[in-house]
């Protein structure tokens, strides 16, 4: 079959095909372990123009090992073709993994017209099939163009030219004698360079003469790489340093960025009597800057954080912009501008662009009086640490308050850093919005800041909206009875007698957003022929097992306290009957609620009175308690708030929560009233 060569010039690439193009693959004879390779070579070059006489070589390697831990595989050369005409239309190969490598063009280190391409592609040959492989040839050369503005030819009437070299530094003798890859540009042109080993830069040298004066400039474009194009543009300006403006442009195709040669006269920012690169303490007054460029300024911004101030098209408090000329402005910044910043070292920046593409960027820093953003706070210990900068130590205080409230003033202590002061609050709470600021006496200095503390952790499933049934037939206040945060004494009765001590109820307080509450009641149950009083209860923990006619209960669950609760709040209503069961107590039954913040769980065996739980602050492991007990009945829903009492000297946060509700407070002693009941809903911590 005759080879057909097609050149397709598309929008973004030229495709050089060295294979037959048919509507269907031909039928080829192959051995049992053979497959066939067809090859396309592609040039991803915009408006590509490929010379058909360009030398093309192809090498096909077969991988002989698998990749090692660095991804390296050994390979052997199995096919080699040194010209386009020698590459067959079909290449028969045995099955395996291969790599095709192409080289296109001559490898000339510096040329105005010769480009060199390389590319490779891994592929696999499968017995009995044709592998259509496309290899992209990427240009190895680094394009470098020189462009002269009309002002150059107008001024340098005698001679002007530019050397561009593939060299880390420019040396005129090396350029003239071609000891390094060098091109001489006398007009606008583009050259192509391949960097020698150890070279990472393009260096350049401009010479211009008007018959009387000479101008010489040189420079370096650092860290150049293939796949990017570099351009030097020369413009003459009598106002420019050295009277010559040199702009270096990098085209990354399709993205591009503009780099400037260091001595290019970009727009500048100068302080009125001060150095803009230094950090100054700001107390009051106006600071004035002069912004200038060689061409008309089209953009003048001040930026800080996410804020961009467009000084040419908008007005702002504390900023006065005066146009001296289209190429020069003064910018005066007064106290109203500096009031935008909190205390400490703050930075803003001028950003300027002119019509010639010049870009100016000047960061400016000031040390400003006022509070710094709050550094640390601890909502368990209710502490917050404040810092502020002040240039006077007289009567300095840091104040804070709940939003809209009265200020609390804290005495400060000098910090290690100059002009920095610290203070600490001891009543910072969760889910609060605070304002804080620096004061001299009661006069605020600088900007006030705000912070909203996160809400403290709340008790899971405390609205009692989810209920399920355990395999032992006990009703549980949880969707998953095997992974419940709350539990009840139902496990002791449900499987044996069918009685449930605690269940859900549709009777809820009017303020509730839910539709269910927890209802507990006390009963006398006959277990194993023995009548036993069983108290209605609800607790955070786990009913472990039935033990005789009683049970083993584990009070407490792990709980991550993110803040220190002040109180426990819940809705309840109850009835306390006359005690009619048990031998220890007479009179009215006792409703009981207790909550403990602890560092452990507690296990109770109701058959052993020595294990019964009577928590106090003296109990080992308990850090705080909130409790309530009463013989009074409440026929209407009532919201209760129980304040926590904390053990003195607590230096750690608790790790567990113990919380129990019971309509018969003597239930551990199998004593109470079968007329007692209690409803509970919407239990929560108050922070």
Question: First-to-last CA distance in the chain?
Answer: 87
d(C-alpha 260, C-alpha 567), whole Å: 65
Q: Is the pLDDT of residue 144 over 60?
A: yes
Q: Is the pLDDT of residue 239 over 70?
A: yes
- Stretch 73-84: mean pLDDT: 88
34 part of a folded domain? yes
Q: Which of 225-234, 371-380, 633-642, 672-681 has the lowest mean pLDDT?
A: 225-234
Amino acid 252: pLDDT: 58
Give φ, ψ of 468 to 5 degrees.
Answer: -155, 175
Amino acid 447: pLDDT: 95
- Stretch 530-553: mean pLDDT: 86
Q: Is the pLDDT of residue 25 over 90?
A: no
Amino acid 70: pLDDT: 82
Amino acid 265: pLDDT: 57
458 part of a folded domain? no
Say yes or no: 125 and 243 in one domain.
no
* Tokens (6 digits) for 609: 């009175």
Residue where one domain finishes, among candidates 118, 139, 160 = 139
Amino acid 316: pLDDT: 98
Sole residue written with tokens 């019964």: 612
Q: Are 329 and 297 in contact (CB under 8 A)?
A: yes
Residue where one domain finishes, among candidates 207, 231, 260 = 260
Say yes or no: 506 and 629 in one domain.
yes
267 part of a folded domain? no
d(C-alpha 650, C-alpha 292), whole Å: 64
266 part of a folded domain? no
Say yes or no: 254 and 277 in one domain.
no
Mean of the per-residue pLDDT values of the chain: 88
Amino acid 143: pLDDT: 92
Residue where one domain finishes, among candidates 343, 368, 393 = 368
Sign of CA dihedral 67, 71, 77, 81: positive
What are the helix and strand counts (H, E) for the chain? 4, 56
> Which residues are within 8 A (CB) of 387 and not within 5 positions of it... i.e. 6 or more apart?
343, 344, 371, 372, 375, 415, 420, 421, 422
Say yes or no: 618 and 604 in one domain.
yes
Residue 304 gets the label, from left (phi > 0), alpha (psi -120 to 50) or beta, of beta
Render pLDDT for 496-513 as a digit per residue (tens, 0 to 9).
788 999 999 999 999 999
Q: What's the chain's Rg over C-alpha atoms? A: 42
* For the chain, percent of residues with pLDDT exceeding 90: 68
Indicate the DSSP class of residue 120: E
Tell me the CATH number at 127. Answer: 2.60.40
* Domain span including residue 420: 384-452
**Could you tell me how far CA 114 lies from the centroid of its own chain?**
47
201 part of a folded domain? yes
Amino acid 523: pLDDT: 94
d(C-alpha 526, C-alpha 549), whole Å: 9
CA 394-398-402 angle, to 5 degrees, is 150
* Tokens (6 digits) for 246: 């040199």
d(C-alpha 438, C-alpha 407), whole Å: 11
375 part of a folded domain? no
**Element (DSSP H or E) covering residue 191:** strand 189-193
CA 680-682-683 angle, to 5 degrees, is 85
Buried b (16+ CB within 10 A) or exposed e, 244-276: bbbbbbbeeeeeeeeebbeebbbbbbebeeeeb
pLDDT band at 244 (very low <50, low <70, confident <90, very high): confident
Buried b (16+ CB within 10 A) or exposed e, 296-330: ebebbbbeeeeeebebeeeeeeebebeeeeebebe
> Which residues are within 8 A (CB) of 227 and not within 5 positions of it... i.e. 6 or more apart?
138, 139, 252, 253
Which of these, 208, 101, 70, 196, lies nearest to 142 by C-alpha position? 196
- Stretch 635-656: mean pLDDT: 95
Give φ, ψ of 131 to 5 degrees.
Answer: -100, 110
Say yes or no: 11 and 130 in one domain.
yes
Sign of CA dihedral 72, 73, 77, 80: negative
In the sheet that 202-209 helps form, which strands lie side by side, from edge to edge? 182-185, 159-165, 202-209, 214-221
* Tokens (6 digits) for 210: 């008007």
- Stretch 7-18: mean pLDDT: 30
> Which residues are within 8 A (CB) of 455 and not within 5 positions of it... i.e. 6 or more apart?
430, 431, 563, 687
Q: Is the pLDDT of residue 1 over 70?
A: no
Neighbours of 664 (CB within 10 A): 34
Q: Is the pLDDT of residue 494 over 90?
A: no
Provide the pairing of β-strand 280-282 with 359-368.
Answer: parallel
Tell me the CATH number at 484. Answer: 2.60.120.890
378 part of a folded domain? no
Amino acid 248: pLDDT: 66
CA atoms within 13 A on the CB side of 668: 18
Amino acid 115: pLDDT: 87
* SS3 per residue for 596-632: EEECCCEEEECCCHHHCCCCCCCCCCEEEEEEEEECC
d(C-alpha 448, C-alpha 437), whole Å: 4
> Which residues are within 8 A (CB) of 664 and not within 5 positions of it... i.e. 6 or more apart?
522, 533, 535, 536, 537, 589, 590, 592, 671, 672, 673, 676
> Which residues are within 8 A (CB) of 519 and not within 5 positions of it... i.e. 6 or more apart?
502, 503, 504, 505, 507, 677, 678, 679
Amino acid 574: pLDDT: 98
* For the chain, percent of residues with pLDDT exceeding 70: 90
> Which residues are within 8 A (CB) of 463 and not within 5 positions of it... i.e. 6 or more apart?
512, 513, 514, 516, 681, 682, 683
Give φ, ψ of 515 to 5 degrees.
Answer: -120, -5
Say yes or no: 448 and 487 in one domain.
no
Q: Is the pLDDT of residue 470 over 50?
A: yes
Say yes or no: 492 and 517 in one domain.
yes
Amino acid 372: pLDDT: 97
pLDDT band at 13 (very low <50, low <70, confident <90, very high): very low
- Stretch 105-123: mean pLDDT: 91
Amino acid 262: pLDDT: 29
Q: Is the pLDDT of residue 47 over 50?
A: no
Amino acid 45: pLDDT: 54
Say yes or no: 480 and 446 in one domain.
no
600 part of a folded domain? yes
pLDDT band at 44 (very low <50, low <70, confident <90, very high): low
Render pLDDT for 605-626 as a digit per residue (tens, 0 to 9).
877 777 677 889 999 999 999 9
Say yes or no: 512 and 655 in one domain.
yes
Say yes or no: 483 and 594 in one domain.
yes
Amino acid 15: pLDDT: 37
Amino acid 23: pLDDT: 35
Which of these, 354, 358, 144, lies nearest to 259 by C-alpha position? 358
Q: Is the pLDDT of residue 2 over 70?
A: no
d(C-alpha 528, C-alpha 273), whole Å: 99
Model pTM score? 0.55
**Could you tell me how far CA 397 lies from the centroid of its own chain?**
35
- Write the CA distances from 425 to 15, 278, 377, 382, 528, integer angstroms: 73, 35, 9, 8, 61
Q: Which of 162-176, 181-195, 219-233, 309-323 has the lowest mean pLDDT?
A: 219-233
Say yes or no: 486 and 628 in one domain.
yes
Q: Is the pLDDT of residue 24 over 80?
A: no
Render pLDDT for 50-62 as a digit per residue (tens, 0 to 9).
454 567 889 999 9
pLDDT band at 256 (very low <50, low <70, confident <90, very high): very low
Say yes or no: 58 and 146 in one domain.
no
User: How many structural domains does the chain have?
Assistant: 5
Q: Is the pLDDT of residue 264 over 90?
A: no
In the sheet that 307-310 helps form, which strands lie side by side, from edge to edge? 280-282, 359-368, 344-354, 297-304, 307-310
Tell me the CATH number at 316. Answer: 2.60.40.10
* Tokens (6 digits) for 261: 């040669």
Q: Are 421 and 396 in contact (CB under 8 A)?
A: yes
């Amino acid at each position: 079959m005759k080879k057909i060569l097609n050149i397709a010039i598309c929008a973004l690439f030229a495709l050089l095909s060295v294979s037959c193009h048919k509507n269907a693959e031909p039928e080829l004879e192959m051995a049992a372990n053979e497959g066939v390779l067809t090859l396309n070579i592609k040039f991803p070059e915009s408006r590509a123009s490929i010379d058909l006489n360009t030398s093309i070589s192809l090498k096909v390697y077969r991988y002989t090992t698998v990749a090692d831990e660095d991804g390296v595989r050994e390979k052997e050369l199995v096919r080699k073709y040194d010209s386009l005409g020698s590459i067959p239309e079909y290449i028969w190969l045995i099955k395996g993994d291969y790599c095709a490598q192409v080289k296109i063009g001559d490898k000339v280190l510096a040329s105005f017209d010769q480009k060199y391409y390389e590319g490779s592609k891994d592929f696999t040959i499968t017995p009995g099939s044709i592998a259509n492989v496309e290899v992209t040839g990427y240009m190895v050369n680094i394009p470098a163009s020189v462009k002269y503005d009309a002002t150059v030819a107008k001024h340098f009437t005698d001679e002007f030219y530019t050397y561009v070299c593939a060299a880390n530094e420019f040396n005129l003798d090396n350029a003239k004698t071609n000891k390094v890859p060098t091109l001489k540009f006398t007009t606008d042109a583009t050259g192509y360079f391949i960097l020698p080993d150890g070279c990472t830069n393009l260096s350049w040298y401009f010479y211009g003469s008007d018959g009387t004066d000479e101008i010489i400039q040189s420079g370096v474009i650092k860290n150049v790489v293939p796949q990017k194009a570099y351009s030097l543009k020369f413009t003459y300006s009598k106002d420019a340093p050295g009277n010559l403006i040199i702009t270096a442009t990098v085209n990354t195709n399709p993205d591009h960025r503009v780099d400037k040669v260091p001595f290019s006269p970009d727009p500048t920012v100068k302080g009125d009597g001060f150095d803009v690169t230094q950090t100054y303490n700001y107390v009051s007054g106006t600071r004035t800057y002069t912004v200038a460029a060689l061409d008309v300024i089209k953009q003048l911004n001040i930026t800080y954080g996410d804020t961009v101030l467009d000084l040419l098209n908008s007005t702002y408090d504390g900023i006065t912009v005066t146009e001296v000329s289209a190429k020069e402005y003064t910018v005066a910044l007064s106290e109203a501008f500096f009031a935008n910043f909190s205390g400490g070292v703050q930075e803003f920046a001028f950003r300027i662009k002119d019509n010639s593409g010049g870009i100016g960027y000047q960061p400016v820093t000031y040390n400003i009086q006022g509070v710094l953003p709050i550094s640390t706070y601890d909502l368990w210990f209710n502490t917050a640490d404040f810092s502020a900068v002040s240039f006077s130590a007289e009567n300095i205080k840091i104040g804070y308050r709940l939003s809209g409230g009265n200020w609390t003033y804290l005495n400060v202590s000098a910090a290690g850093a100059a002009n920095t002061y610290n203070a600490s609050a001891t009543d910072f709470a969760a889910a609060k919005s605070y304002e804080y600021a620096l004061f001299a006496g009661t006069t605020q200095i600088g900007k006030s800041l705000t912070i909203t503390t996160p809400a403290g952790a709340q008790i899971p499933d405390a609205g009692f909206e989810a209920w399920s049934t355990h395999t032992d037939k006990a009703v549980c206040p949880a969707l998953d009875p095997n992974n419940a945060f709350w539990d009840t004494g139902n496990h002791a009765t449900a499987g044996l007698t069918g009685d449930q001590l605690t269940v859900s109820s549709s009777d809820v307080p009017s303020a509730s957003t839910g539709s269910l509450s927890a209802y507990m009641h006390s009963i006398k149950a006959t277990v194993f022929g023995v009548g036993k009083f069983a108290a209605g209860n609800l607790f955070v923990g786990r009913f472990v097992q039935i033990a005789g006619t009683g049970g083993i209960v584990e009070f407490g669950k792990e709980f991550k306290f993110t803040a220190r609760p002040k109180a426990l709040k819940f809705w309840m209503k109850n009835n306390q009957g006359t005690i009619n069961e048990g031998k220890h107590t007479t009179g009215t039954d006792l409703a009981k609620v207790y909550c403990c913040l602890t560092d452990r769980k507690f296990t109770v065996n109701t058959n052993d009175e020595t294990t019964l739980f009577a928590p106090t602050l003296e109990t080992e492991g308990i850090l705080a308690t909130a409790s309530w007990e009463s013989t009074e009945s409440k026929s209407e829903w009532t919201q209760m708030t129980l304040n926590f009492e904390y053990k003195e000297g607590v230096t750690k946060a608790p790790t567990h929560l113990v919380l129990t509700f019971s309509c018969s407070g003597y239930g551990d002693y199998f004593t109470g009233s079968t007329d007692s009941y209690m409803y509970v809903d919407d239990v929560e911590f108050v922070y």
